[in-house]
Amino acid sequence: MPNDVKPLREAPAYVDPISGQRYPISEPRWCSDTGAPLMITQLPGLARNMIDTAKRSLWRYAAALPVYIPDPITMGEGCTPLVSRRWAGVPARFKLEWFSPTGSFKDRGASVMVSILRSQGVTRLLEDSSGNGGAAIAAYAAAGGIAAKILVPAHTPNDKTVQMRSYGAEVELIPGTRQETSDAAARQAASIFYAGHNWQPFFLQGAKTLAYELWEDLGFREPDNLIIPTGAGSNILGCDIGFSELLCRGEIASRPRLFAAQPENCAPLDASFKAGSSDLVPVEVRPTIADGASIAKPVRAREVLAALRRSGGATVTVSEVEIEEALLELGRIGLYVEPTSAIAAAAFTRLLERGVIQPGETTVLVLTGAGLKTTRRIGELMAALPTR
């Protein structure tokens, strides 16, 4: 067994990764007694013969989850396509996470999180989001018969809040920044259970199914590299958890390198990683077209930075021009994504140019959200192009 992975010795529990304090997993919680985000203690994962192949959703990996859910809230999330294309002249694989019921990768975490919270007795929940997370949690709450309230920044485009409202969620506009919206959610958590996807450890348990699915997609092998558009880092942490479990099981030989791709205009994880810090360092934040990655203070920064270093990966930033160019180029190869997804493709180009990734390696780019969510913005971008 690899010396950095310990076997499971105790029943699953919540754990504060800083203090080590544990709490019973049977009780709904969103933070530790000191206000820190929680994780789930290490789980043993599953072997390939434990996959429920009769299920065509992420619930085929239910044996890897910390809680048994006999009646999960599911709409077929997971089992998204992995397609091969050439990018910057070399082979690449694109994981199309927008093939999800609400159009984004966040359906993985929402399905697992809301299913477990319902089993714990939660009947009304609160989320804060500027887009995809709010839509996903509103949808799964509706499917599970749970009332949902979503706090969004007041400047959020109406196109995004319409989707949340269509699921019957109460949507409250909060004046100010994305951070101020999160602060408002923390205050309201005194009266309604807070199921913020950046805080909830069960959300990460859903996100980890991406690792299992890629392993299965690739013939039960790990990729060499995984490039992920990153704001709060739930996909980085989910993949770290999932591939760690597979390593513990002996199902893979090594961890894939994880690369967190961020826009230059909002790159707190990149600045912290390059400074060698284990926690966030102050950065200047400017507006970016990739608003899904525009998170100035990721609440799990310590864990994300540790996961990147553990994998042998890194952070990479790209400019607004590079994001726009990658967005349009993805469209020309049949991949219509929202701008945040294009960060991964732009970052791949940079990593190839620097020789960090070699053309012969198996590299997966995670495309997190559908272009249909941001058609108006993409249309404005295309209209600004020189006439041919």
Domain boundary among 183, 200, 217: 200
Whether 134 and 215 map to the same domain: the answer is: no
pLDDT of residue 264: 98
Domain assignment present for 8: no
Strand-strand pairing, 147-153 and 170-174: parallel
Task: Return the structure tokens found at 292.
Answer: 């899904």
Name the band, by pLDDT with cuts 50, 70 and 90, for residue 388.
very low
Domain of 141: which CATH number? Answer: 3.40.50.1100
Residues ≥6 apart with Cβ < 8 Å to 277:
305
pLDDT of residue 13: 97
Whether 225 and 184 map to the same domain: the answer is: no
Measured distance CA(92)–CA(338) in Å, rounded: 19
Q: Is the pLDDT of residue 364 over 90?
A: yes
Domain assignment present for 74: no
Domain assignment present for 368: yes
Whether 209 and 328 map to the same domain: the answer is: yes
Whether 125 and 155 map to the same domain: the answer is: yes
pLDDT of residue 363: 98
Of the listed ranges 7-16, 22-31, 214-223, 234-243, the least confidently predicted one is: 7-16
Which residue has tokens 């950046």? 198
Whether 214 and 340 map to the same domain: the answer is: yes
Whether 293 and 193 map to the same domain: the answer is: no
Domain assignment present for 24: no
Measured distance CA(149)–CA(169) in Å, rounded: 6
Name the band, by pLDDT with cuts 50, 70 and 90, for residue 387.
low
pLDDT of residue 131: 86
Whether 262 and 149 map to the same domain: the answer is: no
Whether 362 and 310 map to the same domain: the answer is: yes
Q: Is the pLDDT of residue 338 over 70?
A: yes
Domain assignment present for 20: no
Range of the domain at 150: 106-200
pLDDT of residue 252: 98
Task: Return the structure tokens found at 1.
Answer: 């067994």
Sheet with 39-40, side-by-side order of all strands: 22-24, 13-15, 39-40
Domain boundary among 138, 166, 200: 200
Whether 301 and 190 map to the same domain: the answer is: no
Whether 262 and 224 map to the same domain: the answer is: yes
Strand-strand pairing, 257-263 and 314-318: parallel
Domain boundary among 177, 200, 223: 200
Whether 225 and 341 map to the same domain: the answer is: yes
Name the band, by pLDDT with cuts 50, 70 and 90, for residue 1.
very low
Domain assignment present for 45: no
Q: For 237-273, what is each residue's pLDDT tens digit?
A: 999 999 999 999 999 999 999 999 999 999 999 999 9
The answer to whether 255 and 310 are in contact (CB under 8 A) is: yes
pLDDT of residue 2: 39
Domain assignment present for 327: yes
* Residues 90-95, mean pLDDT to the nearest whole number: 98
Which residue has tokens 């992975």? 5
Task: Return the structure tokens found at 72.
Answer: 């999960």
Three-class secondary structure of residue 329 per DSSP: helix
Domain assignment present for 22: no
Whether 292 and 339 map to the same domain: the answer is: yes
* Structural domain count of the chain: 2
